[in-house]
Amino acid sequence: MSAEILAFPSGAPAARSAPSGAGGAAPAAGGAPVLVGCSHGTSDLTGRAVVRALLDDVRAARPDLDVREAFVDVQQPEVADVVTSVVAPDDGAPRDAVVVPLLLSGGFHVGVDVAAAVEDRGPGAGRAAAGTPLGPDPRLVDLLAERLVEAGVRSDDAVVVAAAGSSRPGAARDVERLAAGLRERHAGPVTVGYGAMASPTVTEAVAAARAALGGAGASGGPRVVVAAYLLAPGFFHDRLLEAGADVVTAPLAPDARLTAIVLDRYVDAAATLLR
């Protein structure tokens, strides 16, 4: 069964002013802490451009901040190297850094890679702190619900929230909280599937949802719609198109709400450097 995909939302407005609460970080010595936006990394050129555009929107919303890009896999530079370049630079002028994981839930990369990246570099170095992931957050529920509406979801369709997946149970709890919020907005059934490291897989969740519907599909009756709980296009989103759903939504970015969440995470983490 072929799946139709909603056209990628390239016209979402960028944030041009600081979101509510985004101006509360007090500058550290040498200026406000550098914001290091850390994403997973992807070989997909469109996906790379989307993540870069998100950080450009952060820069536009907070032109006073030094915003840098880092990754935990696939792309360079690695997050630990970027943090080191800020807190222990070769020029001997250290600054503080805040790493904001551009990830939708907690997991190995947040608990290990990002945590290691903000470890103390020793005497004379600047300080570093890690923000929490972008999700769960009520604004992400709003955004995912909006993507479903854009895809033409019907009230009786079965929705499968497709998340990247992690071996860490906290990540699954984060996704389940998101799904619980979506159930309050969608009359039909809402379940969860994962791309890797957790079960059920998206393909299994789609098959189970279709079986619960009695095998109905796009030709009549309720359909199975995959809600892509992803920031940007890439390998995983491509796999969603092969999972057997009738409709697959576009990823979440770009959107001004994501910009606001990134800045909120930055402000919260920067405040810990003042304690």
pLDDT along the chain (275 residues), means of 10: 33 35 39 96 95 98 98 94 97 96 85 92 96 96 97 97 81 90 97 88 97 77 96 94 96 97 98 89
User: What number of residues does the chain have?
Assistant: 275
Q: In the prediction, which pLDDT does 7 show?
A: 29
pTM of the model: 0.86
Among the four given CATH numbers 3.30.70.980, 3.40.50.1400, 2.60.40.420, 3.40.50.620, the one describing domain 138-248 = 3.40.50.1400
> What is the structure's pLDDT at 217?
65
Whether a cis peptide bond, with omega within 30° of 0, leads into 136 is: yes
Mean pLDDT of the chain: 87
Q: Using the CB atoms, write b or e for 224-257: b if 16+ within 10 Å.
A: bbbbbbbbbbbebbeebeebbbbbbbbbbbbbbb
Percent of the chain, pLDDT > 70? 87
Alpha-carbon gap, residue 268 to 21, rounded angstroms: 10
pLDDT recorded at residue 112: 87
The b-or-e profile of 178-216 (16+ CB within 10 A means b, else e) is bbebbbeebebbbbbbbbeebeebbbbbbbbbbeebeeb
Torsions phi, psi for 127 (to 5 deg): -100, 160
pLDDT of 13 reads 35
Please state which CATH class domain 14-134+255-272 belongs to: alpha beta
What's the pLDDT tens digit per position in 231-272? 999 999 999 999 999 999 999 999 999 999 999 999 999 999
Task: Record the tokens describing residue 234, joined without a space.
Answer: 């890439």
Q: Where are the domains of the chain?
A: 14-134+255-272, 138-248
Same topology, domains 14-134+255-272 and 138-248? Answer is: yes
Is-contact 171 107, C-beta < 8 A? yes
pLDDT at 216: 64
